[in-house]
A and B are shown apart, each in its own frame.
Chain A
Amino acid sequence: METPNSTGDRIAQYLKDGKRFDGRKPGEFREIFVETGVSKKAEGSARVRIGKTEVIVGVKMDVGAPYPDSPNKGNLMVTSELLPLSSSRFESGPPKFPAIELGRLVDRGIREGKFVDFKKLCIKEGEKVWTVFVDIYTINHDGNLLDAAAIGALVALKTAKIPKYDGETGKVIYGEYGDEMMPVSKEIPIVTTVHRIGDSILVDPTLEEEDISEARVTIGGSCEGKVFSMQKGDSGDLSIEEMHKILELSENVRKEVFSKIDKFFK
């Protein structure tokens, strides 16, 4: 169900006083819960809950040909499915724009943040490299699927083991693993989204808040203050001052989010 106007107006009114329905401050996240090993068949997987929002992310790997412009690097494919089971708003069928956007934003967060060392995923230059598939599935949609998916992708990749590969037959032996783990960097690129509703700037919206959001900026960056990827969404505009505020809030939020998932990266 869409959020009724009366509810939307009240959310906006509350925000003017810096208040939200669930008692959070505008710059505050809901409780983040992360669990790994969701599927034993996956090379790595994670479940992320942010409040009532839940996604599962799995990593599968296969050996294939490299792209001509990167003969010595492995490939990355991030896709997402907004499952009809997770919300009455999602329908089955070919992916529509929101699913494509979710996949691409997570993809660029990982790629631009240089989280995976793709050079280490080269088996034979120009011929055989690992392709890493990161697949995102929504389980329950209560706003901010994107930030949840981005966290899930990081943790799933971090915990992924590389399956054995038989160089003679050219086949991957799924289910058998050596000691090789996914080569990931120490610097963790966190992707978070900041929204503007009226004159208020907030993070981690619930579904109702997301419905009345006028503009949003998704920013991927490190806890050390670097920004790697950014994209503005929705048809509202922003002043330059608002953009400055968004950049600063985003940097703080990255640190907060990382502090909740850092146990997976030790």
Chain B
Amino acid sequence: MAKDFKRPDGRGVEDIRPMKAEVGVVPNADGSAMFSFGNTIAIAAVYGPKKMHPQHQQDPKKGTLRCNYNMISFSVTDRIRPGPSRRSTEISKITEWALEPVLMIKNYQNMVIDVHINIIQADASTRCAGINAAALALAHAGIPMRDIVSSVSIGKLDKQLVVDVDKDEEDWEEGEGATDIPITMTSSERLTHIQLDGKISNDELKQVLELAKKATKKVYEVQKKALKESLEVKE
């Protein structure tokens, strides 16, 4: 890897933008959290577990995790038309799949856990921020979990691998262009989500997985700290 590689905002190749995490941001919800990577801000709220309604959607074998990812219309430069899109529908489902392996969803027969994710401000990696916020909100809601999941995007700008892609990097056009690889892992290094757009070799992908392993650990520490702090403040 080139040591003299310059990222648009001057970060080192493995540096994540400043992360912030806070739980309890939506008092009405059973659990809630905010997570941000620099200018990308996501909030998530959990309602449930509650009886699934309508009744015909109840699953007698296991509970249902229902995620809803939504970008606020003014979160990006060109206003987004409110309401679901094909993109947001896909990200919602991907988020469910990323979170479900750590939930003991079998214990909630006929019930549903609703997770609402909203992107307030977008500067790329919004799905990763959303998943991190959702994982925190589920833990904050006191829902039993085997582990927590942490998400980060790995990028390839021309030939250089970088951690936590921002919007300037997402639009990288020099050389081989940009490859964006959002990845979610548990703290015990199980992969629960991976996507990719761009151009990359298998060998590079193996390096990507190693980078993701290290980077998700850093996200995990931020999440853990936020949860601990929420317990300490209460007196």
A interface residues with partner B (beta carbon < 8 Å): 68, 97, 100-101, 103-104, 108, 112, 217, 225-240, 242-244, 247-248, 251
Q: Is B200 an interface residue (CB 8 A)?
A: yes
| Separation of A251 and B205 alpha carbons in the complex (Å) | 13
Q: Is B209 an interface residue (CB 8 A)?
A: yes
CB–CB B206/A237 < 8 A: no
One of B35-43, B190-198, B218-226 at the interface: B190-198
Number of A-B residue pairs, CB cutoff 8 Å, is: 84
Q: What are some 24 contacts across the A-B interface (CB < 8 A)?
A: A97-B89, A101-B90, A103-B86, A112-B199, A226-B199, A227-B196, A228-B199, A229-B196, A229-B197, A230-B194, A231-B94, A233-B97, A235-B97, A236-B101, A237-B190, A238-B190, A238-B191, A239-B191, A240-B189, A240-B191, A242-B191, A244-B209, A247-B202, A248-B202
Q: Is B164 an interface residue (CB 8 A)?
A: no
User: What are the residues of chain B within 8 A of A232 when measuring CB–CB?
Assistant: 94, 97, 191-195
Instruction: Provide the main secondary structure of the chain A interface.
Output: mixed
User: What are the residues of chain A within 8 A of B28 when measuring CB–CB?
Assistant: none
User: What are the residues of chain A within 8 A of B189 when measuring CB–CB?
Assistant: 239-240
Question: Distance in Å from the Cβ of A238 to the closest Cβ of chain B?
Answer: 4
Q: Is B126 an interface residue (CB 8 A)?
A: no
Count how many chain B residues have C-beta atoms less than 8 Å from C-beta atoms of the other chain. Answer: 31
Question: Distance in Å from the Cβ of B122 to the closest Cβ of chain A?
Answer: 15
User: What are the residues of chain B within 8 A of A68 when measuring CB–CB?
Assistant: 78
Interface centre among A108, A235, A242, A248 (most CB of B within 10 A): A235
Q: A237-B190, A240-B191 are in contact. Are A228 and B198 (CB under 8 A)?
A: yes
User: What are the residues of chain B within 8 A of A234 when measuring CB–CB?
Assistant: 97
User: What are the residues of chain A within 8 A of B191 when measuring CB–CB?
Assistant: 232, 237-240, 242-243
Question: Distance in Å from the Cβ of B209 to the closest Cβ of chain A?
Answer: 5
CB–CB B90/A104 < 8 A: yes
CB–CB A237/B195 < 8 A: no
Question: Distance in Å from the Cβ of A216 to the closest Cβ of chain B?
Answer: 10
